[in-house]
Amino acid sequence: MFTKKTAILSGLVTMIIFALSGCYKTVTIVENPGSSITTEMSFKKDIIPIFEKSCIASGCHNTGGKAPNLMAASAFTSLSSGNYLKATDPDNSLLMLWLNGKKSPVMPVGAGPDPEINAKIYAWIKQGAKNN
């Protein structure tokens, strides 16, 4: 009786171990190619359209949504006063950590890292994260 219970228990433990070993989350980390962008990035012309397409359209970062509010009228203030940016240090900016998958949740949610978007935002931060 004891050996039958032990055999069943060890079989269950073995199945659980095999099942759990197959369950893991991979994180995609995208390196920042934004250093190669030499043209000046404009917050209004280059960054706001990214937010409108990827962050606001999804309904996440709009007025009354999740912080930061990335609506055109309040995006810069939300990002700078909320400590999401470290001007000239994009690698340590919270915004870039989310965009690169180094911090969860990876943004944009559902789409994941986008090298083109990341390059523009990275370059903008590296250039001083100006409200231009």
CA gap 69, 56 in Å, rounded: 9
Per-residue pLDDT of the chain (132 residues; tens, 9 = 90+): 567 777 676 666 665 555 545 444 444 455 556 667 889 999 999 999 999 998 888 888 988 889 999 999 999 999 999 999 999 899 999 999 999 888 888 888 877 788 888 999 999 999 999 999
Q: What is the pLDDT at residue 51?
A: 94
Q: Is the whole-model pTM more than 0.85?
A: no
93 within 8 A of 86, measured Cβ to Cβ: yes
Residues 6+ apart with CB under 8 A from 95: 79, 84, 85, 121, 125
Amino acid at 26: T
For position 11, what pLDDT does the model report?
Answer: 61
- In this predicted structure, what is the pLDDT of residue 77? 96
